[in-house]
Structure 1
Amino acid sequence: MLNRVILIGRLTRDPELRYTPSGVATTEFTLAVDRPFTSQGGEREADFIPIVTWRQLAETCANYLRKGRLTAVEGRVQVRNYENSEGKRVYVTEIVADNVRFLERPENGGQQLERQDPDYSIGVSDDDLPF
C-alpha cells in the first residue's frame, strides 16, 4: 500500500507553532494549490489544503515560511476524527509533511533577492539553515 502526496502551492497564512504537553513542536499551515483548469467563467480555482509538520521540521517551517511563499510539501494523507463540544463527530483530512522545500527566497528589505545562486531551487543557503 502507498500513501504519498507531493504538493506545490503558496501559504495562505504564516505557520502556527505550538508544542504538545510533552514538548514536541508542531506547526499547521494551509497551502493553496492551483487546479490544472479554469472555471466556466475563465477563473483559476485552488484547493486549500491543511498541512501539519512535527519536531525539527515544524520549528524550521515556523522560522522560515511566511504567508505567500511558494513551497513544496511531501508527506502523507491523514484522516482523523474527534467529537466536538456539541457531541457531533468531526472528520479532519490533512497532509502530515515529512519534507518541506522552500521554493522562493524570502524578501530582503522589501526587495526580492537575485536568482543567480545555483542552490536557488531549495530557497535557502547554508547560512540560512539553523543546523
Structure 2
Amino acid sequence: MANFEKEYEKSPIKTDCLELYLREGILYCIYNEVRELDLEKARICVQDRLNYIGEQVYPSLFDITQVKHSTKEARDYLADEGNTGVAASAILVTSPMVKMAANIYIHVNRPKNPTRMFTSKEEAVQWLSQYRA
C-alpha cells in the first residue's frame, strides 16, 4: 500500500467513459474507446471528472487517443463550461485524424484555459507542471 500512496494522491477510478487519477498535482483523464464523443457523452465525462475532483482545480492531461470522432456540440461544450475545474489542458493524441480534431478544438473552439496538443505524455506533463497550484 505504501507504493500506491506515493504514486497517487487519490485512488484512481474508472467510469463508463474515463479513467481518472491524480499524480503530482496533475489530473489524468484517459478516455475509453469512443466511436463518437457527442454532447451527452461529453457531459457525462465532465460530470465524472467533477465528481472525482470536487471543488479543486487541476492542470489536466486528456488522453483522447481512443476517441475516434467528436461532434461540434461536444467540442463547443468542452471548450467552455466543460472546462470547469481545469487550470490548463494538455491533449494527448496519436493518430492524424485525432490530431486534426484536436487542432480544430484548440483553434476554432478556443478553450477558455491554456490548451496545447501533444504526442508525448512526458512533454505534456512537463508543460502542465507550470500550472500546478
- TM-score normalised per structure 1: 0.24
Structure with higher helix content: 2
Query: Rg bigger for which structure?
Result: 1
Structure with higher strand content: 1
